[in-house]
């Protein structure tokens, strides 16, 4: 699959299936292979576009601070290059924040939104109460010293419940192998972290006119389910 120039970077993307366009946006530090379990089903009804966010996978990884608006611009630019006027957008975790920024900054590009396990940013974000989760997200010194496979396998314990892991060992192993093949450099984690920490769309949510579905999991240890309830359903 191809890589195209979008603004200041080259973005790797894939297209699967036919129909209305559905763009899948991955989370913090993850590449488009994060969607390997969903693409097959979604592509039966949609033209599915997956891509590697800046800083991940086969896309460029500039060593500069990223912002959510910048990363939303990458999505809008990719759609422009592909000649797509509007698309349905499904983003998870950081990808959900990118989706919100896209709907605010480039509303004509966002058809329906699905926001999975995400939030609308600081200072309203409800952070994990688990010290191990916080370390996994923000301890860059430990990340520098760890082996890539060790880091990704540690993350699996936070992305999935133990019950799911026990019942889906083959999928979990494939997920681990896919992601450890393209582990971002530390500077890319820091750059994406900057985008996460500086994003705050709470007072701009009223600008999102796209029909939106908010989904979350009560066993999520990274993005607590209270973010979905408190941010989106309690918004004035």
Mean pLDDT over 5-14 rounds to: 97
Of 117, 113, 119, nearest to 90 (Cα)? 113
155, 136 in Cβ contact below 8 A?
yes
**Sheet containing 212-215: which strands, arranged edge to edge?**
3-6, 9-16, 47-51, 21-25, 87-92, 110-116, 212-215
Give every CB contact of residue 202 below 8 A, 6+ residues apart in sequence: 120, 121, 124, 231, 235
Domains of the chain: 3-232 (3.40.50.1820)
Q: What pLDDT is attached to residue 171?
A: 86
pLDDT tens for 125-146 read 888 877 777 776 666 666 665 6
CA–CA gap between residue 45 and residue 232 (Å, rounded): 28
In the predicted structure, residue 12 carries a pLDDT above the cut 70: yes
Reply yes or no on whether the pLDDT at 235 is more than 60. Answer: no
Check residue 142 and give its pLDDT. 64
Tell me: pLDDT of 49 over 70: yes
236 pLDDT above the threshold of 80 = no
Residue-wise pLDDT tens digits, 143-166: 665 656 666 667 777 778 889 889
Is the pLDDT at 36 greater than 80, yes or no?
A: yes
Query: Would the pTM of this model clear 0.85, i.e. be above it?
Result: yes
Q: Are 42 and 109 in contact (CB under 8 A)?
A: no
- Residue with the larger pLDDT of the pair 135 and 31: 31
What's the pLDDT score for residue 173? 84
Q: Is 116 helix (H, G, I), strand (E, B) or coil?
A: strand
Structure confidence by residue, pLDDT tens digits, 18-27: 999 999 999 9
For residue range 181-216, what is the model confidence (pLDDT) as tens digits? 788 888 999 999 999 999 999 999 999 999 999 999
SS3 224: coil
Residue 232, pLDDT score:
74
**Residues 117, 96 contacting (CB under 8 angstroms):** yes
pLDDT digits 0-9 by tens, 72-130: 999 999 999 999 999 999 999 999 999 999 999 999 999 999 999 999 997 888 888 77
- Whole-number pLDDT of residue 8: 94
pLDDT of residue 107: 97
């Amino acid at each position: 699959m191809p890589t195209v120039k979008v603004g200041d970077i080259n973005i790797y993307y894939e297209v699967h299936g036919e129909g209305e366009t559905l763009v899948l946006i991955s989370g913090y530090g993850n590449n488009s292979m994060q969607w390997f379990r969903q693409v097959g089903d979604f592509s039966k009804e949609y033209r599915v576009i997956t891509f590697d966010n800046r800083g991940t996978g086969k896309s460029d990884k500039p060593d500069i601070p990223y912002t959510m608006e910048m990363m939303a611009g990458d999505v809008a630019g990719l759609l422009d290059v592909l000649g797509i006027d509007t698309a349905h957008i499904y983003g998870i975790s950081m990808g959900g924040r990118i989706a919100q920024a896209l709907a605010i900054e480039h509303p004509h590009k966002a058809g329906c939104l699905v926001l999975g396990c995400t939030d609308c940013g600081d200072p309203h974000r409800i952070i994990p109460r688990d010290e191990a989760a916080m370390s996994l997200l923000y301890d860059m010194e430990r990340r520098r010293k760890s082996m890539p496979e060790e880091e990704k396998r540690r993350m699996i314990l936070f992305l999935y419940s133990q019950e799911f892991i026990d019942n889906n060992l083959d999928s979990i192993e494939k997920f681990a192998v896919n992601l450890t093949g393209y582990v971002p450099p530390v500077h890319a984690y820091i750059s994406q972290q900057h985008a996460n920490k500086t994003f705050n769309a709470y007072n701009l949510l009223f600008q999102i006119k796209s029909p939106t579905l908010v989904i979350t999991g009560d066993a999520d240890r990274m993005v607590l389910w209270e973010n979905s309830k408190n941010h989106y359903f309690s918004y004035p």
